[in-house]
């Protein structure tokens, strides 16, 4: 597990994503999905995975209807928020504009989520977790509590089980 904060710098972002892909099966990125020139995340990831950005029509309709309901003119750059990486699984954003997405790349998964917590948190809860549950990506775990026995003794007793683990958490 690793946590990094990367500014609006395409080279640093690309380097960090490539480094994470070398180490991890799942890389989660938040932010950088919006309409401004400093929103680099989906553009950078698309370049890394060799895919184009395409308009997600349901997202575009949602964005257009938002501006229409507000009685505001939609500036051309807002259309950028409906861009998703070709072939990705789109995660609907019911609390903001830009959708999230999941991209499969070289047997790894890159997840892009919006930056604002009021958008990202419901997306994780309502979109992302259900996807993992439906695709059996949740690791089953149990909490074991021991009393009156030291950690070193527990390891000695359970060493065969510990050595057989392929994905300990």
Distances (CA, A) of 10 to 38, 133, 143: 9, 33, 41
Distances (CA, A) of 85 to 4, 38, 123: 23, 18, 18
Please indicate, yes or no, if residue 151 is contained in any of the structural domains: no
Write out pLDDT tens, residues 83-106.
Answer: 999 999 999 999 999 999 999 999
75 pLDDT tier (thresholds 50, 70, 90): very high
Residue 97 tokens read as: 């504009």
Q: Identify the bridge partners of residue 28 per DSSP, sorted by sequence position.
A: 111
Please indicate, yes or no, if residue 56 is contained in any of the structural domains: yes
pLDDT on residue 160: 83
d(C-alpha 74, C-alpha 51), whole Å: 27
Please indicate, yes or no, if residue 61 is contained in any of the structural domains: yes
Please indicate, yes or no, if residue 24 is contained in any of the structural domains: yes
Please indicate, yes or no, if residue 162 is contained in any of the structural domains: no
Secondary structure class of 54 (helix, strand, coil): strand
Place of tokens 């999230």: 100
Please indicate, yes or no, if residue 160 is contained in any of the structural domains: no
pTM of the model: 0.78
Domain span at residue 70 reads 10-134
Residue 87 tokens read as: 């072939």
Q: E strands along 5-164, which residues? A: 26-30, 53-55, 83-85, 89-91, 100-105, 108-113
User: CB of 127 within 8 A of CB of 100?
Assistant: yes
Residue 167 tokens read as: 């994905």
d(C-alpha 12, C-alpha 14), whole Å: 6
Write out pLDDT tens, residues 12-70.
Answer: 999 999 999 999 999 999 999 999 999 999 999 999 999 999 999 999 999 999 999 99
Write out pLDDT tens, residues 96-135.
Answer: 999 999 999 999 999 999 999 999 999 999 888 877 766 6
Please indicate, yes or no, if residue 165 is contained in any of the structural domains: no
- pLDDT higher than threshold 80 for residue 81: yes
Tally of structural domains, the chain: 1
Q: Indicate which CATH number applies to the domain containing 40.
A: 3.40.980.10
d(C-alpha 45, C-alpha 51), whole Å: 9
Please indicate, yes or no, if residue 38 is contained in any of the structural domains: yes
């Amino acid at each position: 597990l690793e946590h990094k904060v990367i500014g609006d710098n395409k080279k640093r972002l690309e380097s960090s994503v490539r480094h994470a892909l070398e180490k991890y099966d799942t890389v989660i990125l938040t932010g950088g999905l919006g309409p401004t020139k400093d929103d680099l995340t989906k553009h950078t990831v698309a370049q890394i995975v060799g895919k184009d950005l395409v308009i997600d029509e349901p997202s575009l309709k949602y964005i257009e209807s938002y501006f229409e309901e507000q009685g505001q003119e939609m500036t051309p750059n807002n259309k950028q928020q409906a861009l998703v990486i070709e072939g990705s699984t789109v995660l609907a954003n019911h609390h903001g504009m830009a959708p999230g997405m999941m991209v499969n790349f070289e047997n790894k998964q890159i997840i892009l989520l919006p930056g604002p917590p009021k958008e990202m948190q419901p997306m994780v809860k309502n979109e992302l977790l259900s996807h993992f549950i439906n695709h059996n990506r949740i690791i089953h775990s149990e909490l074991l509590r021991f009393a009156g026995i030291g950690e070193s003794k527990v390891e000695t007793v359970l060493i065969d089980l510990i050595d057989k683990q392929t994905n300990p958490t």
